[in-house]
């Protein structure tokens, strides 16, 4: 499959792993309501205490031709990414699946004992050492402080009887140097526009949902659009994550 396609997938994961927080500053409150900084700081503190959780992402990405903003249908893809994370024992099992260039694909992966395992199309099971700082960048965390991100606290919302703070993030253009580096290879993309919105439970300060709209531009001029929604659930529920025999036999990439 196209290497650029997997680079784009990796960028999606990277941005979801690194949703932005506002700069640290004294907490300011208006009429007794928490500030956006207060909400994000308390959400980060709550996430630090989580031992296990599950997640599901659904999204769409498309690629354009050079010098065009029109998506090419054959280079567009619906995708899903779901999995379970055991932070206490540093275990992850996840599956990325979708449809690209007339081909269905599925990538199953594990993280265990400091190693990332992945069943890659055309390669089979491969493994790499877990990147430094990996466990500070899994999907619940809001640890990356990007100075060019503007965060805003929107009106509260209620979903299925649960009340949520809603925070929006607007990212100004970034290049690769503005993104935290846990890729295994250099990215040819620049982030031109990104809007992220999060729903944070008012009782637990844990993230329920993250929605992202992203526009990437390749150095050669091609554009990629990504829309995706990440749901997080089953916080601190029991998990049993074990490597399969095929994964244990993975080759070094």
Residue 40: predicted pLDDT: 86
Question: Structural domain boundaries of the chain?
Answer: 3-252
Residue 39: which of 211, 229, 206 has the closest Cα?
Answer: 206
Which parts of the chain are beta strand (E)? 52-64, 71-86, 91-100, 103-112, 115-120, 124-129, 149-159, 162-171, 189-201, 207-218, 223-233, 251-252
pLDDT of 70-79, one tens digit each? Answer: 777 667 788 8
| pTM, two decimal places | 0.78
CATH number of 3-252: 2.50.20.20
pLDDT of 163-207, one tens digit each? Answer: 999 999 887 655 444 443 323 234 555 666 778 899 999 999 999
Average pLDDT over residues 10-18: 49
pLDDT of 205-243, one tens digit each? Answer: 999 998 988 777 665 566 778 888 989 999 999 999 999
């Amino acid at each position: 499959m196209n290497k650029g396609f997997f680079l784009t997938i990796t960028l999606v994961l990277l941005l979801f792993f690194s949703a932005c927080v506002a700069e640290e500053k004294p907490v300011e409150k208006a009429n007794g309501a928490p500030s956006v900084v207060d909400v994000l700081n308390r959400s980060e503190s709550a996430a630090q205490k989580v031992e296990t959780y599950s997640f599901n992402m659904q999204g769409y990405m498309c690629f354009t031709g050079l010098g065009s903003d029109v998506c090419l249908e054959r280079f567009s893809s619906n995708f899903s990414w779901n999995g379970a994370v055991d932070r206490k024992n540093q275990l992850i099992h996840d599956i990325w699946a979708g449809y690209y260039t007339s081909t269905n694909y599925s990538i199953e992966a594990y993280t265990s004992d400091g190693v990332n395992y992945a069943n890659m199309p055309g390669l089979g099971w491969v493994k790499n050492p877990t990147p430094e700082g990996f466990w500070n960048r899994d999907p619940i965390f809001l640890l990356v402080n990007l100075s060019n991100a503007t965060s805003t606290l929107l009106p509260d919302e209620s979903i299925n009887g649960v009340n949520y703070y809603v925070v929006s993030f607007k990212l100004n253009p970034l290049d690769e140097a503005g993104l935290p580096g846990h890729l295994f290879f250099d990215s040819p993309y620049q982030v031109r526009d990104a809007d992220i919105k999060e729903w944070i439970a008012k009782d637990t300060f844990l993230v329920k949902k993250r929605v992202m709209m992203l526009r990437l531009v390749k150095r050669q001029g091609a554009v990629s659009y990504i829309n995706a929604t990440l749901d997080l659930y089953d916080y601190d529920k029991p998990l049993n994550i074990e490597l399969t025999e095929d994964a244990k036999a993975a080759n070094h990439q």
